Structure 1
Amino acid sequence: MDAGGDGAVTVLARGEGLAAWRQIADGVAADIEAGRLAAGSQLPTEAALAARFGVNRHTVRRALAALAERGLVRATQGRGTFVETPRLAYPIGRRTRFSEIVSQAGREAWGDLLAAETVLADPATAEALGLAPQDPMLELLTIHRADGTPLSTARTCLPLPRFEGFAAAYAALGSLTRAYAEFGIADYTRLSTRITARPATADEAARLDLAPGRVLIVLSSVNVDAAGVPIQATRSLFAADRVELVVEG
């Protein structure tokens, strides 16, 4: 069953107890596994698939939802549905750099700033950053992509007034490392990382182009500058279907 074929109608088995949407989902999955639909490629539109399989668009939509739940495809608002790329090996060590990791895998890395505001430090973040509770800090909400595919979204907090203006630097440069360089920080290291997992909320799933309820890997981390002073406390949410964490010794 070739979902991206020449436009001929693909005949589904009728009256054999297997729902049409399941046959479509299984057929597309087989095409992905056999390499007939390459990683990163775009599937035909719902209308084109409906015409190809001789079903209505609701049936196609259910098949695509089942494929998304299996982590085989992702639906992007306004752009269509794409075959998921293989998991990216993501090392966690003393020098964890999103841009470097993605670039070394031969993919283009970029971070988008979704929101930035000055907030008062909660007790846990204050302790991580060496602040007093209720001290002001900069909070960034970001999303990080590899070849346009969202891999993670993060809440990052930085102490003020040291990083006043950091949001503008990050928005322009698309990288924490490059933005830190603008503030005279040539290098920084990971002080701690805690790893947990949970289902995505509806908002998080929409941000990461995930089916609702898909598993997220949650990384809570603290970075320090060359003098050992905390500069960053981050909670990153990774799409578990798109990354494979590698903890380095």
Structure 2
Amino acid sequence: MKRQSRPKAPRTTPAAAPLQRDSATSLYRQIADQLEHDILAGHFAAHGKLPSEHELTVRFGVSRVTVRQAMDALLAAGLVVKKQGKGTFVAGQKLQHDLHSMQGFYDSLIAQGVEPETRLIEFAAIARPEYVDASLANPSGQCFFLRRIYQVGGEPIAMVCAYLPADAAKVSWQQASENPIYGILERLLQLRIARADVRIRAQPAGARIGRELGLGPRAALLVMERESFCSDGTVAEHSSFYIRPENYEFLLSAQGPLPISSSIRGATRARVEQLA
């Protein structure tokens, strides 16, 4: 798998322009606008750290509350991310996963011009969990388990836990490190993937996944659960991707025609009761 070079050090931030304290635009909005300009102008490198809360209060001559409001505005706009115990950083490239076409997680990053680093953490035979299809296991009830971290710019963005056929025992650690999941299945195990069912949900990171992704246990994650099938309907793999949500989104295009239901039930009655 390809690797990406480390990001460059943050550039020097220009001096703050004077705030217009008698303007109708709030102080926090003026600060947010200046920082947004600095980010978009490249004064901070991608994934670069922003000045601390204290540094910004001194720079702009405002209270911590005002600085926090400005940072919250940048966070809401997707321009920055907060990392527990480390500070606030410039958000990286917004990444998308197109659900309309069948594509692996790694290949979807490559298609967007990103060259992620990967780190294989676990690749071993384990007892098949009950929620994993029995066709992945051998007669002794074992399947193969893979756990991998994906990084962009040196920062973890996702972790995958994948259950593979027991035949993956013939795949070496080196081969598993160098191939994405679909590469292991198609190139090394000679399986032909015909379709996949994908489910998306949100959940807290928890202690273990949070540590791997640099998040607190209560931080929200996107979870993409995928089950892939061969042309004969046999399950080929069952994967769960735990994704940091700040720079990742899923895209699905829906085609018409658009069916429209009858009028919303109870809406008129509720309005009448409010006017009574």
CA deviation map 1:87-122 (0-9, x unaligned): 212112462212321122111134321223322112
Aligned-partner Cα distance in 2 for 1:34–1:156: 38
1:124 matches 2:138? no
Q: Which residue of 1 aligns with 2:113?
A: 106
1:234 matches 2:239? yes
Richer in strand (by share): 1
Partner SS state of residue 169, structure 2: coil
Partner SS state of residue 190, structure 2: coil
Shift of the 121–32 alpha-carbon distance from structure 1 to 2, 3 Å rule, reads: farther
Aligned-partner Cα distance in 1 for 2:229–2:118: 21
1:244 to 240, 243, 249: 249
Shift of the 186–122 alpha-carbon distance from structure 1 to 2, 3 Å rule, reads: closer
1:97 matches 2:104? yes
Gaps of 5+ in 2: 1-10, 20-27, 62-66, 255-276
Gaps of 5+ in 1: 13-21, 55-59
1:171: Cα distance to partner? 4.3
1:5 to 13, 18, 24: 13
Aligned-partner Cα distance in 1 for 2:126–2:236: 16
- Letter aligned with residue 43 of structure 1: K
Aligned-partner Cα distance in 1 for 2:34–2:170: 48
1:30: Cα distance to partner? 3.3
Aligned-partner Cα distance in 2 for 1:122–1:133: 14
CA deviation map 1:49-74 (0-9, x unaligned): 798679xxxxx9xx989977986445
1:178: Cα distance to partner? 3.1
Q: Which residue of 2 aligns with 1:40?
A: 46
1:140 matches 2:139? no
Determine if contact 1:40/1:85 at 8 Å carries over to the other structure: yes
Output the TM-score relative to the length of structure 2: 0.63
- Letter aligned with residue 157 of structure 1: Y
Percent identity between matched residues is 20
Q: Which residue of 2 aligns with 1:57?
A: none
Shift of the 245–239 alpha-carbon distance from structure 1 to 2, 3 Å rule, reads: same
Aligned length: 241
Q: Which residue of 1 aligns with 2:171?
A: 166
Shift of the 158–28 alpha-carbon distance from structure 1 to 2, 3 Å rule, reads: farther
1:245: Cα distance to partner? 0.6
Partner SS state of residue 154, structure 1: strand
- Rg larger in structure: 2
Q: Which residue of 2 aligns with 1:87?
A: 94
